[in-house]
């Protein structure tokens, strides 16, 4: 169940902005950045993401949402990725999103399928995502967009983490792992300097490929395009390299299946361990930083706070295996 006021607001925004008369709103499990709902209506079924503008930790996502979703829509309309990605439905007036003073709304076609989450990928799914990623990396310079706002700069997002030693009320895990975090940040800076000097080719990258952003319907679908970048291919490939996938080494590596399929599309690609390691280390640092910012600045329930702390503990543990 959702609060009556929230239900009324959702029904009104969908009617006013999309011309959809809602029959039923069903809360579903969303990601860390947005609440999610299944929408049932006379016009069909939809998936709605609702972003709370008062959450300071998601401001960077909201600031680029028009751009990132426009890129996603262009891919679906103009490339062979149609059917493998899920682009937003535009409003009556042709906008990517709808807004109120407190919330931002993205509406998508509803996918009849299951989110893979933490389920190990089958060989067929490994091949499927390798093909999707290979097709994504065919694009970038050919697209009618200015990618300057999302171009890779190799910066390490650690501004809040560097303050940890001055905050005695921080979660215990970040104090226990302080030395690991500082070594990881130092290593990432060294690797970033090396990679910048390589003058790598930049292409369009999703940058957030994991089980919560993969859905299995009649085919595999990559969702949640809010984090796209114009970057080296390793900003996607690191997800599949070594035993890193979803941070769980018990599944072993998908790289042996992934790489040959990817190289059929990009035969010039050669594995570079330093480039891949940089993106693995930085992703863990980035996730810990985001969890920490949520802990510091977002208004959360006790349950939400506990989940954030658990997330930090998990990411600190994974990071320690790379340093």
Assess whether pLDDT exceeds 60 at residue 2: yes
Assess whether pLDDT exceeds 90 at residue 29: no
Assess whether pLDDT exceeds 60 at residue 249: no
Which ranges constitute the DSSP H helices of the chain?
4-18, 59-63, 65-78, 123-136, 172-176, 178-196, 234-237, 255-265, 273-297, 302-320
The candidate with the shortest Cα–Cα distance to 205, out of 133, 269, 265, 262, is 133
pLDDT top residue among 38 and 31? 38
261: Cα separation from own chain's centroid: 23
The whole-chain average pLDDT of the chain stands at: 92
Count of CB atoms situated within 10 Å of the CB of 77 = 10
Round to whole Å and give the CA distance between 319 and 181.
8
Round to whole Å and give the CA distance between 217 and 196.
39
Domains of the chain: 4-110 (3.30.200.20), 123-320 (3.90.1200.10)
The whole-model pTM stands at 0.94
Q: How many CA atoms lie within 13 A of 19 on its CB side?
A: 7
pLDDT (0 to 100) of residue 251: 54
Under the banding of pLDDT at 50, 70 and 90, the label for residue 109 is very high
pLDDT (0 to 100) of residue 161: 87
Round to whole Å and give the CA distance between 320 and 122.
28
The candidate with the shortest Cα–Cα distance to 118, out of 257, 13, 211, is 211
Question: Is the Cα dihedral 134, 226, 120, 187 positive or negative?
Answer: positive
Which ranges constitute the DSSP H helices of 210-272?
234-237, 255-265
Structure tokens at 167: 């905050």
Assess whether pLDDT exceeds 60 at residue 76: yes
pLDDT (0 to 100) of residue 31: 82
Residues 139-179 have pLDDT tens digits of 999 999 999 999 999 999 999 888 876 667 788 788 888 89
């Amino acid at each position: 169940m959702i609060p009556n006021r929230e239900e009324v607001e959702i029904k009104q925004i969908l009617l006013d902005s999309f011309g959809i008369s809602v029959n039923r709103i069903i809360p579903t499990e969303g990601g860390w950045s947005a609440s999610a709902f299944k929408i049932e209506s006379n016009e069909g079924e939809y998936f709605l993401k609702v972003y709370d503008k008062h959450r300071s930790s998601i401001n960077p996502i909201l600031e680029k949402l028009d751009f990132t979703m426009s890129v996603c829509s262009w891919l679906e309309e103009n490339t062979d990725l149609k059917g493998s990605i899920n682009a937003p439905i535009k409003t009556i007036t042709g906008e990517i999103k709808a807004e109120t003073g407190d919330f931002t709304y993205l509406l998508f076609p509803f996918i009849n399928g299951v989110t893979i989450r933490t389920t190990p990928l089958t060989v067929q799914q490994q091949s499927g995502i390798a093909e999707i990623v290979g097709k994504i990396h065919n694009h970038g310079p050919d697209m009618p967009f200015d990618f300057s706002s999302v171009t890779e700069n190799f910066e390490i997002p650690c501004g809040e983490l560097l303050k940890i030693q001055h905050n005695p009320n921080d979660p215990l895990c970040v104090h226990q792992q302080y030395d690991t975090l500082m070594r990881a940040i130092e290593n990432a800076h060294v690797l970033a300097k090396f990679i910048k000097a390589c003058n790598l080719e930049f292409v369009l990258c999703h940058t957030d490929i994991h089980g919560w952003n993969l859905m299995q319907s009649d085919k595999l679908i990559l969702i949640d395009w809010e984090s796209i970048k114009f970057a080296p291919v390793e900003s996607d490939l690191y997800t599949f390299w070594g035993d890193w996938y979803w941070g769980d080494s018990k599944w072993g590596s998908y790289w042996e299946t992934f790489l040959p399929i990817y190289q059929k599309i990009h035969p010039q690609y050669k594995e570079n361990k330093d480039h891949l390691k940089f993106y693995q280390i930085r992703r863990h640092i980035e996730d810990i930083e985001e969890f920490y910012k949520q802990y510091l600045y977002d208004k959360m329930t006790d349950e939400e706070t506990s989940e954030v702390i658990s997330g930090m503990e998990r990411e600190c543990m994974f990071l320690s295996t790379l340093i």
